[in-house]
Amino acid sequence: MKNQLTAPLAEADAPARLLTKPVARRSFLRYTGTGLALGGLMLAGCDNDDPEIDPNANRLDVGSGDTGILNYAYALEQLEAAFYTQVVAGGAGSYFATASAAEKAILTDLRDHEVIHREFFKAALGSAAIKQLEVDFSSIDFNLRAAATGATRMGVLDAAKAFEDLGVAAYNGAGRFISSNDNLVLAGKIVSVEARHAALIRELLTPNTFVADDVVEISGPNARGTERSKRPQVVLETANNFLAAGSKLSANSFV
């Protein structure tokens, strides 16, 4: 994808990329992974109550504990459900109106699954649920299947790929913060379905990219064949690009 929208996405992922970039990795770790073990000692005498400008001003925090993770999942499912609902609504000139039979069937299934996920979390959270979020899909061209190089906006399948990959990375990265095994298994039941979605959307765009290096660690001497999962705050930097002001999120309890 070469369009303007990739700029904010790339920036949001920059911290993760920096840490996984093979060339920079060794020297970087020389002074962090090992260095911080000692550097941390110097912080022992410091007070961490220094006043700072709050980078999360005007952001809605998902909360803490398992409820916070469920709300985080609820937020991401709201985003996906709203996206596919708009895709499947179609209309004159839309990509969906002229999509292949298989792509129509796939996107309709994805709409169904994501709406079910959203409604499930809403029901499970009850009065603890965050509000209904307002989305901002101005960076997506719903009339376009996939953006050509240099396009200013993402196509429908580009956005679907971004949302599905982000969802998988998000559930996997949130797993460690879950206390209850019921909630852990629940997240597991959903994330594998999201991974099935992600792989198929990728295949619609480019054959045999279902586990490409941008989402799975497959190359390099230390590759583990594992999903490149992302912690909540990293995920939200991307997700917030698709949320309207007043609906942008933070996850300050999960670091």
Query: Among residue numbers 116 through 175, which ones bind another protein (CB under 8 A)?
Result: 116-117, 119-120, 123-124, 168, 171-173, 175
Smallest separation (angstroms) from another protein to the CB of 175: 5
Location of structure tokens 């991974």 = 195
Out of 37, 53, 57, 92, which residue is the one contacting another protein (CB under 8 A)? 37
In the numeric block, which tokens belong to residue 206?
């480019």
- Among residue numbers 70 through 99, which ones bind another protein (CB under 8 A)? 85
* C-alpha span between 57 and 195 (Å, rounded): 33
Residue in 140, 192, 124 with CA at minimum distance from that of residue 4: 140
> Which of 106, 95, 110 is closest to 155 using CA atoms?
95
CB of 19 to another protein, least distance (A): 6
Residues 182-241 that bind another protein (CB under 8 A): 182, 184-186, 188-200, 203-204, 207-208, 210-211, 216-218, 221-229, 231
Please say which residue, 127 or 181, places its beta carbon nearer to another protein: 181
- Determine, following the binding rule CB under 8 A, whether residue 41 of this chain makes contact with another protein: yes
Q: How far from the centroid of its chain's Cα atoms is residue 61's Cα?
A: 16
- Which residue lies nearer to another protein by CB, 20 or 143? 20
Q: Cα(250)–Cα(130) distance, rounded to whole angstroms?
A: 12
Q: Where are the beta strands (DSSP E) in the chain?
A: 60-61, 249-250
Q: Which is nearer to another protein, 60 or 64 (CB)?
A: 64
Q: Could you tell me whether strands 60-61 and 249-250 are parallel, antiparallel, or unpaired per DSSP bridges?
A: parallel
CB of 248: closest distance to another protein in angstroms? Answer: 22
